[in-house]
Amino acid sequence: MKKYIKAILDKKDRLDGRTFDEFRKPITISNEVSNKAEGSARVKIGDTEVIAGIKVDVGTPYPDSQNRGNLITNVELLPVASSKFLPGPPGPQAVELSRIVDRGIRESGMLDFEKLCIREGELVYNIIVDIYPINDAGNLIDASAFAAVAALKNAVLPKLVDDKVQFGEFTKTKVPLKIIPITCTVYKIGEHLVVDLNKDEEEAIDARLSIAVSESGNVHAMQKGGIVGFSIDEVDKAIGMAKKCVEKLRKQLK
Amino acid sequence: MAKILVKERNVVVPGQELADGMDYLPSEGAFREGEKIFSSKLGLFNLDGRLIKVIPLGGKYIPKKNDTVIGRVTDVSPKIWRIDIGWAFDVVVPLREGSRDFIPNDADLTKYYDIGDLVVAKIINVLSPKIVDASMKLPGCRKLGVGRVIKVESSRVPRIIGKQGSMITLIKDATGCNITVGQNGLIWISGEDSKKERLAEEAIRKIEAEAHSEGLTDKINNFLKESK
In A11-163, alpha helices (H) = 92-107, 140-153
Q: Note whether B152 and B138 are same-domain residues.
A: no
Taking an 8 Å cut-off on Cβ atoms, the answer to whether A7 and B146 are in contact is: yes
Taking an 8 Å cut-off on Cβ atoms, the answer to whether B194 and A8 are in contact is: yes
Residue-number span of the structural domain to which B31 is assigned? 7-56
Answer whether residue B63 is part of any domain.
Answer: no
Answer whether residue B62 is part of any domain.
Answer: no
Q: Which of the four pLDDT bands, split at 50, 70 and 90, describes residue B147? A: confident
Residues A182 and A211 sit within 8 Å (Cβ to Cβ): no
pLDDT of residue B5: 86
Between helix B216-227 and helix B194-209 the angle, nearest 10°, is 150
**For the residues of A201-241, what is the DSSP string, one character each?**
HHTT--EEEEEEE-TTS-EEEEEEEESS---HHHHHHHHHH
Interface contact B195, partner A, CB < 8 A: yes
C-alpha distances out from residue A159 to A56, A168, A172, A198, Å: 10, 9, 9, 42
Answer whether residue B44 is part of any domain.
Answer: yes
pLDDT of residue B8: 83
C-alpha distances out from residue B11 to B7, B43, B129, B157, B212, Å: 9, 5, 27, 19, 11
Q: Note whether B119 and B163 are same-domain residues.
A: no
**Which CATH number belongs to the domain containing residue A67 in this structure?**
3.30.230.70
Q: By mean pLDDT, which of B68-72, B169-173, B178-182, B210-214 is the weakest?
A: B210-214
B18: phi then psi, degrees, rounded to nearest 5 = -105, -40
Between helix B194-209 and helix B166-175 the angle, nearest 10°, is 150
Q: Could you give the CA distance from residue B159 to residue B137 in angstroms, rounded to a whole number?
A: 27
Q: Note whether B205 and B182 are same-domain residues.
A: yes
Helix (H) or strand (E) holding B223: helix B216-227
**Which CATH number belongs to the domain containing residue B219 in this structure?**
3.30.1370.10
- Give how far B206 is from chain A: nearest CA, Å: 15
Mean pLDDT for A113-131 is 91
Residues B42 and B31 sit within 8 Å (Cβ to Cβ): no
Q: Among B144, B162, B178, identify where a domain stops.
A: B144
- Angle at the Cα of B213 from the Cα atoms of B210 and B215, rounded to 5 degrees: 110
Q: Which of A4, A11, A17 sits opposite B148 (nearest CB)?
A: A4
Q: Which of the four pLDDT bands, split at 50, 70 and 90, describes residue B50? A: confident
Chain B residues touching A9 at Cβ < 8 A: none
Q: Which of the four pLDDT bands, split at 50, 70 and 90, describes residue B59? A: confident
Residues A140 and A210 sit within 8 Å (Cβ to Cβ): no
Mean pLDDT for B202-221 is 86
How many structural domains are present in chain B? 3
Answer whether residue B61 is part of any domain.
Answer: no
Mean pLDDT of chain A: 91
Answer whether residue B167 is part of any domain.
Answer: yes
Q: Could you give the CA distance from residue A200 to residue A71 in angstroms, rounded to a whole number?
A: 34
Q: Which residue of A has its CA nearest to B188?
A: A1
Chain A stretch 3-22, residues whose beta carbon is closer than 8 A to a beta carbon of chain B? 3-4, 7-8, 11, 13, 15-17
Beta sheet of A192-195, edge-to-edge order: A192-195, A182-189, A207-213, A219-226
**Environment class of residue A90 by beta-carbon count within 10 Å: exposed (0-12), middle (13-18) or buried (19+)?**
middle
Check pLDDT > 90 for residue B107. no
Q: Note whether B94 and B119 are same-domain residues.
A: yes
Residue-number span of the structural domain to which A247 is assigned? 2-252
Q: Which of B146, B195, B198 sits opposite A4 (nearest CB)?
A: B146
pLDDT, tens digit, for every residue of A47-63? 999 999 999 999 999 99
pLDDT, tens digit, for every residue of A5-41? 888 888 888 888 889 989 988 899 998 888 889 999 9
Mutate to test the interface with B, among A2, A10, A12, A15 (most CBs of B within 10 A): A15
Q: Which of the four pLDDT bands, split at 50, 70 and 90, describes residue B1? A: low
Q: Which of the four pLDDT bands, split at 50, 70 and 90, describes residue B76? A: very high
Mean pLDDT for B45-60 is 87
**Which CATH number belongs to the domain containing residue B14 in this structure?**
2.40.50.100
Q: Which residue of A has its CA nearest to B190?
A: A4
Mean pLDDT for A69-81 is 93
Coil, strand or helix at B193: coil
pLDDT of residue A35: 86
Q: Note whether B223 and B156 are same-domain residues.
A: yes
Q: Could you give the CA distance from residue A197 to residue A203 in angstroms, rounded to a whole number?
A: 10
Chain B residues touching A4 at Cβ < 8 A: 146-148
Q: Which residue of B has its CA nearest to A2?
A: B146
Answer whether residue B98 is part of any domain.
Answer: yes
pLDDT of residue B93: 93
Q: Could you give the CA distance from residue B93 to residue B124 in angstroms, rounded to a whole number?
A: 10
**Which CATH number belongs to the domain containing residue B96 in this structure?**
2.40.50.140
Q: Note whether B101 and B160 are same-domain residues.
A: no
Q: Which of B146, B195, B198 sits opposite A3 (nearest CB)?
A: B146
Interface contact B60, partner A, CB < 8 A: no
Interface contact B147, partner A, CB < 8 A: yes
Mutate to test the interface with B, among A2, A3, A4, A9 (most CBs of B within 10 A): A4
